[in-house]
Structure 1
Amino acid sequence: MRVEDNFVIDSTNNFHQKALQWAAQFDEVAYLHSNAHSDQWSAFDCLVAVKAKAHYCATNGDTFQEVQKFISNHPNTYIPGFFSYDLKNEIEDLKTNHVDQLDFPLAYFFIPTTVVKIIGSKVYITAENPAEIYQEIDQYLLKSDLVGFDGKVQARWSKEEYFHAFHKMQEHISRGDIYEVNLCQEFYAENVSLNPLAAFEKLNSISPTPFASFFKFQDKFILSASPERFLAKRNNELISQPIKGTAKRGSTVEEDQQIVQTMLNSKKEIAENVMIVDLVRNDLTRSAVPKSVKADRLFEIQSFKLVHQMISTITCEKSDEVSDVEVIKNTFPAGSMTGAPKIAAMRICDQVEAAQRSVYAGSIGYFSPNGDFDFNVVIRTILYNTKKRHLSFQTGGAITIQANAKDEYQECLLKANGMLKALNVQID
């Protein structure tokens, strides 16, 4: 029988890192870390869930309905997992023709045997033997392993090929097919070895973000430094925080302030953000109590270690007639990763982009025992299949009629910077 107990932790004892390294020994791991970023909707600093006693792995068809059934069959526990971007093909009449190099499922969730939740100086452990688990983690000897990446990272597109794709997108915009789209490009490495735990630790130190995650199941790893919340539920409130607008950090405080002011004065950045806010508002109305959708916090600049981001917050009251998984389905995938109109943008992305997105642009998160949930947007994320020895990450950015190809290409490289540094490589 599982029980919960709590313990006081020493802030100098590196308990978060010990919990991560301890967790990595298990076949199923979900490590979700806020990196000391918090807001009014934050539920914990860190959540560690390990060792599946039951799991759900999508097998093509009725995935959202099956996830809801899985959750309903396992009440009163944390259920971590992810939704792949390619679930869009189940939601809409869409098709992806790219070869799947990673072999990740469309969705995966598991029921953990042990859950470790850290809030401030307290750790709450749910397990058959919480005190024993606490001692194991507290006394764990930290290791400092090498990332061990032994390959070359290649861009799926040359710079010229990216420009060609960019101009195709602008042609669609000129014709009125779409008015904004998120064009993504892939960086990949084949026949490579990697220490995923060490790679995540390095990525997280280079780019500590509010929705970081280390997710492991079978022979597959997700190493995420995501700054973006896709969708959360707190009691009966739904919260979405799309990002549109990215700029590099300055080398001085004064330069940083100037960059932020330039973002706030940019008609292009504001226009892109407004378009996605409107899209998210529209998506949320399908799950909301009528007239409850609000976008009260617009164009806020949040500064992270590597970049500044423009973030808006949209909230609503959830309708009792819609299940939690239906809420996610009604808004999936994140509007910030598609464009508008949403279905047309996704269809055109499939035609123009050169790689399947897989889990990238999907969402990682959890359903909690009290009925809440919180999911990120899978960006700034390395995907690695140890069996196939295939590694991939993608970056993208919003394209409008005012966008400039050179600027957008540089933004893609800026967003790739953290992953490249974590692997200690440059693009081949």
Structure 2
Amino acid sequence: MANPSMEQVVAMAGEYNLIPVAIRLLADMETPIRIFQRYAERKRAFLLESVEGGVQWARYSFIGTDPFLMITGKKGKIEIERNGECSLLKGKPVEELKALLRTYRSPQLKEMPPFTGGAIGFFGYDLLQYYEKLPAHAMDDLGMDDIRFMFCDQVIVFDHVKQQIMLVGNVHVKPGDSDENIRQSYRDVCRSLEAAAEQLQEQGPRENVNSKGIPADVAMGDIKSNMTKEKYLSNVEQAKEYIRAGDIFQVVLSQRFHIETEVSPLHVYRVLRTLNPSPYMYYLKMDDDIIVGTSPEALVKVDGRRLETRPIAGTRPRGSDEAEDQALADDLLQDEKERAEHLMLVDLGRNDLGRVSEFGTVKCDTFMEIEKYSHVMHMVSSVSGQLSEDKDFFDAFLSCLPAGTVSGAPKLRAMEIIAELEREARGAYAGAIGYLGFGGNMDSCITIRTIIFRQGKAYVQAGAGIVWDSVPEKEYEETVNKAKGMLKAIRVAEAMFPSSTDANDLINQDYLYQYTP
């Protein structure tokens, strides 16, 4: 039975022009991965998942494919693809994205998940160049878009609490539609949802026992970087000169690594979500690029009028037992350098939210708490505010992008120095990935701990925060170690699933079973 009812949708049509409708299916023997693998080979598809606090699966996972609209933007050129037809525009991509989303008015219904359709994709690091006088990087070898978003009005939602699948569609209400037109649109959406439900049941894989396990260690092979070690060390020294001169307090300098691989990106995602579960996990397939990541850090979340950002700064490995774990947590909390850097980034987050929040509403909800994940622990704070009446989630987003944790402080001067020293454009790295809901909600994370798959190569970029007393060799090693954590997942996936193994052959989050259609 669909919810809301036909007559409820007709009643809402006077105020809204896009109304979500959902049916529920029992899914106690399903997983999001098994569902998503049916769509992973399509031209465009997405999977969004989350583990809260590193230990508990968030309530919802979101899956979608076959967007009805696609928008991309690069260097002032915008392309909009709708119903197989493309239109070209010039201007600021975010403004066009904003205009497209504002044509939809959708209710936030209590019985629905926070996302019932909208735009899913990424914002590049260099997006702020449209709004501030910032220098361009000397090179842009990857040539990634400044924005790329898929508009989806049908979403598969996996409800982990109720062990149900919600199939969500949206009734489009056109100007001048009569009540009967709306009822017919409702019937069409329900038929589409029922067809999707039948397709899921028809394609349900059957399982065969498979004993393949996760290898404890793998050879990393040939890893290449976009700069030499000497160049990175020199960049750190130059950044410290800027700090001593008073230009900045901190700057995040990165390098980009790549390896060649033929492994299925879906297998890599499965390894990552098992070995490094995070608050933001994503698999985005958009034409020739596949973006896979497990980011621990939110950029900004908008729920109704409430804003939240969660700065992360300060990391320690997990201990071998409870006593060592606590000792490492205490050491992190007592580290004056880590505390000073964290405080600076919390202040930056407060300033970012303050520009778009009602006066006096910005506050620090939690401060310097330890959040533990499978392999590391982080020092995390939470800053919130109430969105001003004359602002929307785009204003909140632009105020926070890029995060101070991947740029520096003061932000604009740090970005100028990054462009000077790194030279190659960051592309998606250090930008944001997430969803922009038709109903006004937004959730986005910083694009870190992320792999970009393109034409037989996998790219991983990682940075380190440089302050006045940074040791160049240690900062270099930090970038290498961060990148290796992601690159290792690729090598593990290669060992577990040789290139002759198709992504559809072996699907289960714990690797204990083999599935064949």
Q: With the length of structure 1 as denominator, give the TM-score of the two structures.
A: 0.90
CA deviation profile, 1:217-273 (whole Å, cap 9, x unmatched): 111111111011110011111000111112222233222221111110000111111
* Distance in 2 separating the partners of 1:66 and 1:96: 22
One-letter amino acid of the structure 2 residue matched with residue 21 of structure 1:
Q
Among 80, 97, 104, the residue aligned to 2:120: 80
Q: Give the 3 Å change call, closer, same or farther, for CA 266–38 of structure 1 in structure 2.
A: closer
* Distance in 2 separating the partners of 1:137 and 1:259: 46
Among 46, 51, 55, the residue aligned to 2:66: 51
Q: In the alignment, which residue of structure 2 is the partner of 1:70?
A: 100
User: Cα RMSD between the aligned structures?
Assistant: 2.7
Identical aligned residues as a percent = 29
Contact 1:248 1:306 in 2 (8 A): yes
Among 178, 193, 199, the residue aligned to 1:130: 193
Give matches, 1:164-313, under 5 Å.
164-189=234-259, 192-313=261-382
Q: In the alignment, which residue of structure 1 is the partner of 2:133?
A: 93
Among 86, 89, 112, the residue aligned to 2:152: 112
Contact 1:5 1:125 in 2 (8 A): yes
Among 48, 57, 60, the residue aligned to 1:32: 48
Q: Does 1:162 align with 2:236?
A: no
CA deviation profile, 1:293-336 (whole Å, cap 9, x unmatched): 11131111111112211111110000011122122112211121
Q: Give the 3 Å change call, closer, same or farther, for CA 142–69 of structure 1 in structure 2.
A: farther
Contact 2:280 2:296 in 1 (8 A): yes
Question: Deviation at 1:361?
Answer: 0.4
* Distance in 1 separating the partners of 2:222 and 2:96: 39
Q: Give the 3 Å change call, closer, same or farther, for CA 348–102 of structure 1 in structure 2.
A: same
Question: Deviation at 1:205?
Answer: 1.9
Question: Deviation at 1:105?
Answer: 1.1
Contact 2:300 2:396 in 1 (8 A): no
Question: Deviation at 1:390?
Answer: 4.0
Q: Does 1:399 align with 2:439?
A: no
Runs of 4+ in 1 over 6 A off after TM superposition: 142-146
One-letter amino acid of the structure 1 residue matched with residue 490 of structure 2:
L
Contact 2:309 2:383 in 1 (8 A): yes
SS in 1 for 2:154: strand
* Distance in 1 separating the partners of 2:484 and 2:206: 27
Mean CA deviation greater in 178-187 or 20-29? 20-29
- Count of residues in Structure 1 that have an aligned counterpart in Structure 2: 418
* Distance in 2 separating the partners of 1:315 and 1:142: 46
Among 23, 26, 29, the residue aligned to 1:8: 26
One-letter amino acid of the structure 2 residue matched with residue 205 of structure 1:
T
Q: Give the 3 Å change call, closer, same or farther, for CA 297–142 of structure 1 in structure 2.
A: farther
Ranges in structure 1 where 5+ consecutive residues have no aligned partner: none
* Distance in 2 separating the partners of 1:336 and 1:150: 28
Contact 1:180 1:275 in 2 (8 A): no
SS in 1 for 2:51: coil
* Distance in 2 separating the partners of 1:71 and 1:394: 31
SS in 2 for 1:374: strand
Q: Does 1:409 align with 2:476?
A: yes
Q: With the length of structure 2 as denominator, give the TM-score of the two structures.
A: 0.75
Contact 1:297 1:312 in 2 (8 A): yes
Q: Give the 3 Å change call, closer, same or farther, for CA 150–277 of structure 1 in structure 2.
A: closer
Q: Does 1:374 align with 2:443?
A: yes
One-letter amino acid of the structure 2 residue matched with residue 292 of structure 1:
T
Q: Which has the larger radius of gyration?
A: 2
SS in 2 for 1:424: helix
Question: Deviation at 1:81?
Answer: 1.6
Contact 2:253 2:465 in 1 (8 A): yes
SS in 2 for 1:222: strand
Q: Give the 3 Å change call, closer, same or farther, for CA 277–176 of structure 1 in structure 2.
A: same
Q: Does 1:18 align with 2:34?
A: yes
